[in-house]
Structures are given as C-alpha cells and as structure tokens.
Amino acid sequence: MSAVHANRPPDASVQAVVFDVGRVLVEWDMRLLFAKLIPEAERLDWFCSTVITEEWHFQHDAGRDLAELVAERKAEFPGNDLLIDAYATRFLETIPGNVPGSHEIVRELAAGGMPLFAITNFASPFWREYRATEPLFDLFGDIVVSGDEKLAKPDARIFDLAARRFGHAPQAMLFIDDNAANIASARDLGWQVHHFHGADALRADLSVRGLLD
C-alpha cells in the first residue's frame, strides 16, 4: 500500500482539516537560537541536549509557568543564566521560516471553502508572540493551544476538547501532524489522519481524497 493511501480510510469524507503547527506549517529548531550564543560546538551540543531540551520545553507547552521553569533550570545549571533567559525572551529565533509548500496548501483549502482548524503544542506566551506575526492563521476557524488548555498532544483529552470546539465528529476531520505519537492518538480516537512528511506527500494525499485539484 502506498504511503498516500495508508493514511486514508476507504470512502471517508472530510468536513474539516486540522493542522499541527510546528514542523508542519512552520519550521522549528531551538538549536538555531543557541548556536548564535554558544560558539563552541561541544558546549552547544551539551547545552541543547542537557539544559534547554525539547523534552524540558514540552513542560511549558503543557502549561507550566515560564518563570517557574526558568528559575528551576537556573538553579539546576548555575552559570547559564543568560542562556536560559534567552529561551524565555528570544523564542521567535527558534522559528526560521515556513515549511516549504504547506502555507500554499492551507490557502488553497481555504479558497475552496474547507473549514480549517489547528491543534498545536505551543506555550501560551510564545504562541501569542508568534501568532501576532503570522496572518495565515486568520484563515483558521479555531486553534486549540496546549499552553492555554494545559493539555498537550498526544493526550486524548486535547483531541476530545478540539472536537467539541470545532463542531465536527472526529471521523469527519482530517488531522495532520508530523509526530507519530500524536497521529496514533488521534487515529485511536477515530480521527482521519495524515502523518506529515512534507508538503508534496500531503498534497498528494489531499488530492486522492478529492480535497485539492
């Protein structure tokens, strides 16, 4: 079975398309910020694998207070205060640009009248800062942000909350995410899914489903 068809239940109609944000619509790499601040390659590797890691950052995505997290990290790793502060104050520098081709797909779906929504693991203050810079999200009817809800993917509760907010049954929505655990959780709850590996494959899947020309 092809990768395109593997994502699609047979004869399933889609009433709404639901996007993840990071690494589906926008690129994200925390190392990009700290590479500007730490010239030594070995120390940069250590810092990004030990101090400011994606696993630690996930706590903020899930709703933990930023000041509390930063204070704890400074106490645990003394001598790195300025670098840890940069995580809190320069987060937009971890977003280098858009995922190639994805924004065009969003605009085409919107132009065709498809209802669009998003579920994103994104810390509340960072989301507000980023959202103000990106008009693409004006095309979305609603966006569930993990930091606001204090629930994060792949927790089933955030998908249930999203289904209630979006007003469509899970079976009638196509959820697009790059994270395999999030895809598995959504599929288990009855959502249609596309495991994102680039805009070309997504466009092909949407075309098979009859959602794009």
Q: pLDDT for 73-101, tens place per residue?
A: 999 999 999 999 999 999 999 999 999 99
Averaged pLDDT, 184-209: 98
Among candidate residues 20, 18, 12, the one with its CA nearest the CA of residue 210: 12
Number of H helices, E strands in the chain: 12, 5
C-alpha 162/C-alpha 90 separation (Å) is 29
Does position 131 have pLDDT exceeding 70, yes or no?
yes
Q: How does residue 9 score in pLDDT terms, banded at 50, 70 and 90?
A: very low
Residues 164, 183: Cα–Cα separation, whole Å: 19
Instruction: Grade residue 7 by pLDDT with cuts at 50, 70 and 90.
Output: low
pLDDT at 213: 86
Query: Is the whole-model pTM more than 0.85?
Result: yes
Q: In this structure, are residues 171 and 163 in contact, taking their beta carbons and an 8 Å threshold?
A: no
Q: How far apart are CA 82 and CA 106, in angstroms?
A: 38
The pLDDT value recorded for residue 12 is 58
Quickly list H helices, 94-179.
Answer: 102-111, 124-131, 146-149, 156-166
Percent of the chain with pLDDT over 70: 94
Give the count of beta carbons closer than 10 Å to the beta carbon of residue 159.
Answer: 25
- pLDDT number for residue 90: 98
What is the average pLDDT across 36-40? 98
